[in-house]
Amino acid sequence: MDYRYESDSLGEVKVPKDKYYGAQTARAVANFPIGEQKMPVEIIRAYGIIKKAAVLANHEQGLIDNEKKEYIIKACNELIAGKLDEHFPISLWQTGSGTQTNMNVNEVLANRISEIAGEKLGSKKPVHPNDHLNMSQSSNDTFPTAMAVAVVKKTKDYLIPILEELKAELSNKAKKYKDLPKVGRTHLMDATPITLGQEFDSFRAQLGEILEILKDSLKYLKRLPIGGTAVGTALNTKKGFDKLAVKYINTETEKKFKAAENKSAGISAHNNFVNFSGVLKTLAAFLMKLANDIRWLASGPRCGIAEIKIPKNEPGSSIMPGKVNPTQAEALFQAAAQVMANDTAVNIGGSSGNFQLNTAKPLIIYNILQSINLIGDSVKSFQQRCLNGIEADEEKIKEYLEQCLMLVTALNPIIGYDKAAEIAQKAYQENISLKEAAVKLDYLSAEEFDKYIDPADMTEPNLD
């Protein structure tokens, strides 16, 4: 590999000749040989938006000339478009403020601008990575701003549409099977009837509530600390820079961000991210239940519950011929488990740091973005390859319903709890039907039993 030499405040450093990053990035690569994880591209591209907004604000305030502004905007647009992704080699596991990544961005933009302007890479001409690309900024305020921009964009543009589609499909299933009564189950034991449609509608309602909470939690992330610089005091900025920068961030993203009133709060602590991660964990808990209920309902095909049939996507066993497994539900379950684990890391990260700086910013954002991607990808796959193709096994559902002892619950208002329980016990012990037991005990005639026991009527209010 060919190299060139670039310098920073600590001296010269060898840098790969074909890369746009500079000395500080090269030092970071050498000093943080930790793990395989890199900074998520969502953060890198969010930084492109922030640097573009910052130069527009600085130009509007008369702090940077038009030529430099145009160069920076051109390079930032390339960064936002993902054309410079290969130039960000630093490990995720770096300083807790994200300083190395901020400087990686500054160096890549500066060197790309040098190339565009016909200058030598590393010359810091016509744009300097610190003096111009970091003007009115610090890693301490730009990194949490990038965190917020990345999470809000990813959630609104990617995750929420997927969850809305899942909700719509659950609603479709609820409508399709609204008149199909089946055995309900509590404690994994037979319970009173519910329709299969009501079962799916319960999932829809659960998801709907979580979606409302998820959307609400985003408003707290939209308060950006940009302009707070090192400790939230706005040192080395011109008054009003923060609002101008946010204005231009909104022009780029259309996400209605606001300048945080107390920027120190957004730099020293990340409670809003901890809260958001908690919502993702709640969503994961719902998805885990959905996955497990689908697995149970589809278990079989002959020796399980088998009330629903799921698509046959691939062979399920390397040794058992013809076996088909609920693989999409299992994948969803595992993704949900990882999201729960990620939330623990975010909680620890959110409580870390001292005084004016949280020092676990890369940890927090890595886990949150991974959770968003895991939920989105696994839900989309689950819906396309499992949920959409689910069909009810109506014969099996009817068979179970006819055998369900808990239909006797409808007799409580007629003959009382104790006599109804006696009917159920007799039917179970003698392996006879509830009707036969009721007649044998002389509590009801066969005609009276048929009048009061109708599974469909038991799925809604049934008292006059």
pLDDT tens for 111-129 read 999 999 999 999 999 999 9
Annotated active-site residue in 87, 132, 171, 187: 187
Question: Tokens representing 442?
Answer: 């002389």
In this prediction, residue 1 carries a pLDDT of: 77
- Kindly state the helix (H) or strand (E) to which residue 15 belongs, with its residue range: strand 11-16
Under CATH, which number does the domain 3-135 receive? 1.10.275.10
Is 171 assigned to a binding site?
Answer: no
Q: For 151-197, write each residue's pLDDT tens digit.
A: 999 999 999 999 999 999 999 999 999 999 999 999 999 999 999 99
Domain boundaries, the chain: 3-135, 154-176+196-391, 404-452
Q: How far apart are CA 161 and CA 154, in angstroms?
A: 10
98 annotated ligand binder? yes
- The catalytically annotated residue of 123, 317, 351, 445 is 317
The verdict on whether 87 is a catalytic residue reads: no
Q: How far apart are the first and last CA of the chain?
A: 85
Asked whether residue 140 is marked as a ligand-binding residue, the answer is yes
Judge whether 239 and 47 are in contact, CB under 8 Å: no
- Please state, in angstroms and rounded to a whole number, the distance separating the CA atoms of residues 389 and 27: 53
323 annotated as a binding-site residue? yes
- Answer yes or no: CATH 1.10.40.30 is held by domain 404-452: yes
- The encoded tokens of residue 238 equal 């011109």
> Which element (helix H / strand E) includes 115?
helix 99-116
99 in a known ligand binding site: yes
pTM score above 0.95: yes
Q: What is the pLDDT of residues 443-462, one digit of tens each?
A: 999 999 999 999 999 999 98
Residue 131 assigned as binding residue: yes
Core vs surface per residue 163-175: b (16+ CB within 10 A) or e? beebbebbbebbe
| φ/ψ bin of 443: left (φ > 0), alpha (ψ from -120 to 50), beta (otherwise) | alpha
> Residue 323 in contact with residue 365, Cβ under 8 Å?
no
**According to the CATH classification, is domain 154-176+196-391 in 1.20.200.10?**
yes
Q: What is the DSSP letter of 357?
A: B
- The domains spanning 154-176+196-391 and 404-452 adopt the same CATH topology: no
> Does the active-site annotation cover 317?
yes
